[in-house]
Amino acid sequence: MMKVIEVYKVAPAPTTSPAAVSDDYFHLTFFDAMWLKFPPTQRLFFYEIKDLSFSVFSDDILPKLKHALSLTLQYYPQLAGNLTWHPVTGKPVIHFAPDNGVFLTVAESAADFHSLSTDDIKEAKDMHSLLSSEFHVSENQATVLSLQVTLFPGSGFSIGYTAHHAVLDGKSAAMFIKSWAKLCHVGSLPSELTPVLERSFIDDNDHLDFCTIFTDKWKKVPPEGTFFTPEIFKPEPGLLRGTFRLSGQQIGLIKNKIKNPVSSFIAVCSYIWMCLVKTDGGDITTDNIQLGVPMDCRARLDLPIPANYIGNCVMFQIATINVVSLKGGEGLAMAAATILEAIGRLAKGVVKVAENWLSYSDSTSVGPKMYGIGGSPRFELYGADFGWGRPVKVEMVSIDTAGVFSLCDARDDQGGFEIGIVFNKHKIEAFESIFRKGLQDIGNI
């Protein structure tokens, strides 16, 4: 079904711009160190081009993508480097050398483009062949980013990326993809897509070296010899992937049901959390359950940093609620209040929350069942137009662990959300039934 045509190593184009690397090393902040052993982020973008031939792909599309990638890496040079240990300080850093580059795999697939790029329920494993295998990790070094462009003859192509979470948070990865698209399509970057690389914007607490604290923590996490080796989840046989949509109108009805004023993000997360708990039903063996809510901290630091800062500036707040409360008639309102309370704790100071993050991560590994959220509609991923139209579908592949759901903006519905879910056949059918029935009940209120 899949044939690898070529693997390129694309280096940043020569530049004298201010974004050029003046130092061989990018140090990690404590926000980066928090994610050192988390699974990498993986996404796919599907672009439909009817009657696309191999010659048009290889002679027109691919050269433009490669050239634009080289130009983009001028602005994002750290993505062409590797995670490693600093030879003097012994701390984890991103090392950039003149011969570095990003691996770009070019492949051809005989799979059905349309079945992969629709909302229809499909095998989760089918997405993984569209991601590059050139993501290398060891105890002493790790790839930062790998890419794959896959041709579907007669139908279109896909672009997939695997990014190390210690280097890029979701917003940064989205900025990179949209920058690449803009340089390919237009040839220049607007200010909002021109990345800020300066790391001094983020400082540790005056008396605590959080970067070292987090690094030392991960060194103790088994198995030994895998410090730079994040766990890459592979879907178990029988896992299915589905996309569920909430229109702007439906989100408005959910907000009305909650009654208290909440954002669309909180309304959607509350509804999906409630549906997931009802889906899991008797499989939940604890009295309480949790939801990890990702929070962008760029505007929440004591001295806010630029919105286009590239790196990690996100942490999770943990919302905890009693299972019975979430299943009850006021479950939606209770879920929203719980999420609001968790988000409100961040107002006490990001650095203060960082002090508690270690205890959070330790307790949640053995405590109540925890659901997670990946992505955000604010990334506006459907804006990634490389010159052949907007993507027809965006998928977050790295949610291939039951209980983690993804959020994305809706392609053709301003204010709408796309929600990605991965479950076995029985549970994804149960979730779909609960999801649909819940919307009917809310609409009849």
d(CA 143, CA 81): 7
Query: Do the beta carbons of residue 198 and residue 74 sit within 8 Å?
Result: no
Run of H or E residues at 357:
helix 350-364
d(CA 427, CA 445): 27
Query: Do the beta carbons of residue 330 and residue 274 sit within 8 Å?
Result: no
What is the edge-to-edge ordering of all strands in the sheet holding 369-375? 122-123, 239-246, 417-424, 404-409, 369-375, 288-296, 314-322
Amino acid code (one letter) for 365: S
Instruction: Identify any residues that bridge with 196 across adjacent strands, giving them in sequence order.
Output: 309
d(CA 188, CA 182): 7
Query: Do the beta carbons of residue 416 and residue 244 sit within 8 Å?
Result: no
d(CA 20, CA 16): 6
Neighbours of 350 (CB within 10 A): 18
d(CA 4, CA 111): 14
Backbone φ, ψ for residue 124 (5° rounding) = -60, -35
Q: Determine how β-strand 92-95 pairs with β-strand 82-85.
A: antiparallel
d(CA 325, CA 332): 9
Q: Determine how β-strand 145-152 pairs with β-strand 102-109.
A: parallel
* Residue 223, preceding peptide bond in cis (omega within 30° of 0): yes
Amino acid code (one letter) for 155: S
Q: Is the dihedral of CA 370, 350, 296, 194 positive or negative?
A: negative
Catalytic residue IDs? 165, 385
Length of the chain: 445
Task: Write out the DSSP string of 242-261.
Answer: EEEEE-HHHHHHHHHHH-S-
Query: Do the beta carbons of residue 372 and residue 292 sit within 8 Å?
Result: yes
d(CA 297, CA 314): 5
Query: Do the beta carbons of residue 47 and residue 241 sit within 8 Å?
Result: no
| The two three-digit tokens of residue 160, written as one number | 């997939």
